Chains A and B, each alone.
Chain A
């Protein structure tokens, strides 16, 4: 697959690296030579110093022959123009990064298709959604819905008070309202079998139905955690603005921002129930005077990953139950996890996995690249005559490192046990180790 990526920023670079590992033909263009750097020496891709909105440069990058043209420069109008140009040159599919949530509305969709922009992506919005999901269910580290919530997958960090520790999973019985699809222990992802056990400190991923979430909460020992009322966000970034707008009226929200001019801008962007405070979120006395001790959630969204991680740790010391930190530096993510940051947000990963999803050959409508586990969750639609329909699940001989979490038949979610028979048209949710999705595709097509 020929893919042209315009804009070698965070998202573009990450995406290019990710895709070059997938044996795709990647061309990365940017008008700044510095940004492209030595990428082409270290990764199997082509870099061209060119303007994404110059027709001559696009021709040179052979954008017209691309199967996918991705425009992820910081400027949304530039992305849209670049996509239009690439489309008129002959690119098969185009994708633009935008900054305006109005463009994501379903009504506008058709218009963008008509002008040659097939898909839009808004990384800040996706990150904000993750944050809000994290606040709604504060005991849950990760949350993923399938088929509008018919099935949900949740990741929970289990402590000493969980009820299912240290026993082999088969002793829990069958017909449970949940299915444990993965365990992350010391940075290692385990797709558990019946004889595996769960230990305190594990991050456990449950596949379950919405109505059974309270049961999972109970067995995970999370019932006594307080609900979130007060939230402090440190750093008034674009993600912070989006998150504040999404959060709604249910929380008391304070945003701490260092730059005074930005504070004024925030007050214009946000409604009156959000209090904007000019100061440094790393200053303990400021945090104390703004009531950190009775705040349930602390979200660090400054430009600096280090600051965010440290502020998250400090907030934990003040007794905050839920911490969320934006960590853009990929190498720090595991460190953040070790330091017990509740949820780590990475814009690049979120955006890249979103784009990645578009490129899967099978009819996958959802792939989430999990930050903690080296694992993918994918939703497949079973095609007529696919191999999975020939046997019950226990006789399918799924490759090691993959497990079927559940399936959606019609609009009903159901968990999968050994005796389940998958039929054509089912949406099957698969949990697998990184890079296995393509192998699994064969089973479903």
Chain B
């Protein structure tokens, strides 16, 4: 037993293994330029080599430590925050080395925006990027979709006891029941589902007329609900209602709790899904918001109601799941629509999915608590519990959720102010704040309307300081606020 608080060697060892995965993934990416004969092959090989070197160094440093025994809860949080940061750091190497994004700040921004599935791009014209870099962008999102650590730990079979601490630190939304007594096995099952969803999405997109390379990329960013596209005009570039519908369906699926999806697809348990409070809420939000938006669009444009509903459902699901895909039409819509979409982004979809935002279960608990408060005025002596799925939510969980919500709203407010200081106007600053805090990354504001050709917003307009703040914000909200804030508290570093 070691007496130290933070097990430095164990952390190094775990992070080393995680980086080894990134190094091998980077090496895999170099195969694409090999096929397309583009200029970015050297960049990938060099990045892979550098990452591998650091990986080996880390592993060697932590060699004498048995990580199975000594990874504590604290270490878990530290490893998660460290690995997200390091992954983004090494992940931006290909952009810099290939000189397509020479600026370090921009490259880092692009990578962390990928890993956190935010999908806010620095690159104005993505179509000039070589295929390898485009694929790497999509891949960062795909790895980040379920969580970098989740992804790597599920891939590596030799991870031991530390898994529990790592998964807890990276959890998406309030904890859900395990699928299997061993968390590593559950992780592998979820990963299998994730891969199968992605493959089927790619195949369907390909059938619907999207090219092979585009299908694969869009499938990855759809299932990860992240929103990087290989086209400047995002999904709008394909001018296909069919493709939009396919993306809508797959994004909706990815917004559902993966444990429930697993039970549905692999165990045939549809009842569990249909009785899940959060799923019903998610479904209700989707239908309700689509209807409202559809009516607003019909009233304000020349579209028929059917067209409007198609556009509205695509956009609502894209925003609710914080994917951030857009179609061309978005920029012709009236301003209140952006507000609806911003709210949708912040609410988010289901916990345990690849989405960002507050997550449905938190909203449900908040709304029900609110209802209870009203009820308490009428019945002062009543004991009013909040139930989710028929089970009473413990008081401590509610407290955590209240605190989370307060932090979340405060972060929106702070970010709003910071973006105003950084030079955006009032409404754009608000859209930017909500886009980053929800890991949606698509802000549809006035600042893009001028550029009718290039509809994907380039975040290059932000100042360097604002960009670094944004990187921090994306990471904080992807790790659900507390995980990152925790390591900045003195108590985290204090003994006992």
Per the 8 Å Cβ criterion, residues 276-315 of A in contact with B are 276-279, 286, 289-290
Per the 8 Å Cβ criterion, residues 95-115 of B in contact with A are none
Residue of A nearest to B395 (CB): A264
Among A106-114, A176-184, A267-275, A391-399, the stretch in contact with B = A267-275
Q: How far is the CA of A276 from the CA of B383 in the complex (A)?
A: 5
A residues in contact with B384, CB < 8 Å: 267, 275-276
- A290 near B383 with CB under 8 A, answer no
The residue among B379, B390, B391 with the most chain A CB atoms within 10 A of its own CB is B379
Residue of B nearest to A236 (CB): B383
- A272 near B383 with CB under 8 A, answer no
**Chain B interface mostly:** loop
Q: Is B382 an interface residue when CB atoms closer than 8 A count as contact? A: yes
Q: How far is the CA of A268 from the CA of B391 in the complex (A)?
A: 7
Q: How far is the CA of A75 from the CA of B384 in the complex (A)?
A: 30
Q: How far is the CA of A264 from the CA of B392 in the complex (A)?
A: 9
- B392 near A275 with CB under 8 A, answer no
Across the interface, A268 reaches (CB within 8 A) one of B379, B380, B382, B392, namely B392
Q: Is B385 an interface residue when CB atoms closer than 8 A count as contact? A: yes
Task: Kindly supply a per-residue 1/0 record for chain A positions 255-268, scoring 1 wherever the CB is within 8 Å of any chain B CB and 0 otherwise.
Answer: 00000100110111
Task: Kindly supply a per-residue 1/0 record for chain B positions 374-395, scoring 1 wherever the CB is within 8 Å of any chain A CB and 0 otherwise.
Answer: 0000011111110100111000
Residue of A nearest to B392 (CB): A268
Residue of B nearest to A262 (CB): B383
Per the 8 Å Cβ criterion, residues 38-89 of B in contact with A are none
Given contacts A267-B392, A268-B392, contact A278 B383 (CB under 8 A): yes
Q: How far is the CA of A277 from the CA of B382 in the complex (A)?
A: 4
Q: How far is the CA of A134 from the CA of B202 in the complex (A)?
A: 62
Q: How far is the CA of A290 from the CA of B375 in the complex (A)?
A: 12
- B379 near A290 with CB under 8 A, answer yes
Across the interface, A260 reaches (CB within 8 A) one of B383, B385, B392, namely B383
Q: How far is the CA of A266 from the CA of B391 in the complex (A)?
A: 12
Q: How far is the CA of A290 from the CA of B381 in the complex (A)?
A: 9
Q: How far is the CA of A125 from the CA of B232 in the complex (A)?
A: 67
Across the interface, B383 reaches (CB within 8 A) one of A267, A271, A289, namely A267
A residues in contact with B385, CB < 8 Å: 264, 267-268, 272, 276
Q: How far is the CA of A19 from the CA of B442 in the complex (A)?
A: 80
Q: How far is the CA of A411 from the CA of B391 in the complex (A)?
A: 43
Min CB distance, A257 to chain B, in Å? 8
The residue among B381, B383, B390, B392 with the most chain A CB atoms within 10 A of its own CB is B383
- B381 near A278 with CB under 8 A, answer yes
Q: How far is the CA of A289 from the CA of B382 in the complex (A)?
A: 11
B residues in contact with A286, CB < 8 Å: 381
Q: How far is the CA of A286 from the CA of B382 in the complex (A)?
A: 11
- B387 near A277 with CB under 8 A, answer no
Q: How far is the CA of A80 from the CA of B396 in the complex (A)?
A: 37
Q: How far is the CA of A264 from the CA of B382 in the complex (A)?
A: 10
Per the 8 Å Cβ criterion, residues 226-272 of A in contact with B are 260, 263-264, 266-268, 271-272
Min CB distance, A60 to chain B, in Å? 44
B residues in contact with A268, CB < 8 Å: 385, 391-392
Residue of B nearest to A290 (CB): B379
Min CB distance, B367 to chain A, in Å? 14
Residue of A nearest to B378 (CB): A289
B residues in contact with A277, CB < 8 Å: 379, 381-383
Min CB distance, A340 to chain B, in Å? 28
Q: How far is the CA of A279 from the CA of B392 in the complex (A)?
A: 21
A residues in contact with B379, CB < 8 Å: 275, 277, 289-290
Question: 15 more A-B contacts (CB under 8 A) besides A272-B385, A275-B384, A276-B384?
Answer: A260-B383, A264-B383, A264-B385, A264-B392, A266-B383, A267-B383, A267-B385, A267-B392, A268-B385, A271-B390, A276-B385, A277-B381, A278-B383, A289-B379, A289-B380
27 A-B Cβ contacts within 8 A?
A260-B383, A263-B383, A264-B385, A264-B392, A266-B383, A267-B383, A267-B384, A267-B385, A268-B385, A268-B391, A268-B392, A271-B390, A276-B382, A276-B383, A276-B384, A276-B385, A277-B379, A277-B381, A278-B381, A278-B382, A278-B383, A279-B381, A286-B381, A289-B379, A289-B380, A290-B379, A290-B381
Q: A residues touching B (Cβ–Cβ < 8 Å)?
A: 260, 263-264, 266-268, 271-272, 275-279, 286, 289-290
Pairs of residues from A and B, 8 with the lowest C-beta to C-beta distance, nearest first:
A267-B385, A263-B383, A279-B381, A276-B383, A268-B392, A277-B382, A277-B381, A278-B383
